[in-house]
């Protein structure tokens, strides 16, 4: 039986989206990040969180998401999503060793080339920093860091609707959930129309919409 630990407002959104795509039965344990709590996360009456003793037995690093299945414990969202895709994903998973390698490549590309500057933009705008000269300068620096990887995505998606195998797969989920952070920038994705159109296709899927509705229902 699959158990997934983590709230929707976290990187757990990646495997939660895939699980929704697949309609797989699983137990969802909504562990919240300790830093988001306004009270002592170790208090007896605190909600289950990343500092809770029960959760630390699952992931001693105290981070979400975490995933368990038949004795297997995984604690990295991209690895969780790729594992689900390999073992349960059907057409959303790899159909060959080459496709498995490509899914891993695109997922690592997102994590190493896109996620950090995209998150910086999201956080700066979310905190109102785009209204200050310092914040605007930082947004510009991080947008410039994104142009090279987004150009690579643009070149691929100008010729293909999806990242692997000319069909929607878990690779699209892993990359789209990282590119989503960059959508906070008001104009950046417009420079890469194939990337923008692909992200919109991904987010138009019913499973994404279901995941996003659940995420929006959680306290910010």
Q: What is the pLDDT of residues 58-94, one digit of tens each?
A: 999 999 999 999 999 999 999 999 999 999 999 999 9
Question: Shortest CA distance to 10 belongs to which of 32, 27, 25, 35?
Answer: 32
Question: Shortest CA distance to 59 belongs to which of 36, 48, 79, 75?
Answer: 75
Share of the chain above pLDDT 90, in %: 99
Indicate whether 220 pLDDT > 90.
no
Share of the chain above pLDDT 70, in %: 100
Q: CATH topology for 97-209?
A: Glutathione S-transferase Yfyf (Class Pi); Chain A, domain 2 (1.20.1050)
Is 0.85 topped by the overall pTM? yes
Please answer whether residues 18 and 170 qualify as being in contact, where contact means their C-beta atoms are separated by less than 8 angstroms.
yes
For 51-189, strand residue ranges (E) read: 66-69, 72-74
Indicate whether 40 pLDDT > 90.
yes
What is the separation of C-alpha 139 from the centre of its chain, rounded to a whole number of angstroms?
A: 21
What stretch(es) of the chain map to CATH 1.20.1050.10? 97-209
What stretch(es) of the chain map to CATH 3.40.30.10? 2-88
Q: The domain at 2-88 falls in which architecture?
A: 3-Layer(aba) Sandwich (3.40)
Note the pLDDT of residue 62.
98
Indicate whether 179 pLDDT > 90.
yes
Mean pLDDT, all residues of the chain = 97
Q: Write the CB contacts of 201 (distance below 8 Å, at least 6 apart in sequence).
A: 161
Indicate whether 109 pLDDT > 90.
yes
Q: What is the pLDDT of residues 116-164, one digit of tens each?
A: 999 999 999 999 999 999 999 999 999 999 999 999 999 999 999 999 9
Neighbours of 69 (CB within 10 A): 17
């Amino acid at each position: 039986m699959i158990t997934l630990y983590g709230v929707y407002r976290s990187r757990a959104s990646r495997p939660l989206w895939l699980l929704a795509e697949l309609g797989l039965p699983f137990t969802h344990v909504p562990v919240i990040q300790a830093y988001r709590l306004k009270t002592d996360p170790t208090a007896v009456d605190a909600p289950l969180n990343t500092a809770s003793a029960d959760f630390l037995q699952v992931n001693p690093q105290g981070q979400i998401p975490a995933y368990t299945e038949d004795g297997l414990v995984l604690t990295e969202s991209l690895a969780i999503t790729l594992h689900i895709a390999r073992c349960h994903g059907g057409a959303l998973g790899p159909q060959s060793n080459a496709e498995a390698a490509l899914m891993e490549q695109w997922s690592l590309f997102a994590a190493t080339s896109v996620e950090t500057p995209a998150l910086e933009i999201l956080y700066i705008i979310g905190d109102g920093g785009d209204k200050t000269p310092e914040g605007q300068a930082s947004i510009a620096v991080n947008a410039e860091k994104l142009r090279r990887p987004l150009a690579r995505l643009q070149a691929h998606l100008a010729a293909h609707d999806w990242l692997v195998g000319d069909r929607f797969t878990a690779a699209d989920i892993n990359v789209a959930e990282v590119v989503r952070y960059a959508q906070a920038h008001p104009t950046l994705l417009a420079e890469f129309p194939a990337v923008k159109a692909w992200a919109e296709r991904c987010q138009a899927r019913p499973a994404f919409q279901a995941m996003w509705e659940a995420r929006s229902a959680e306290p910010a």
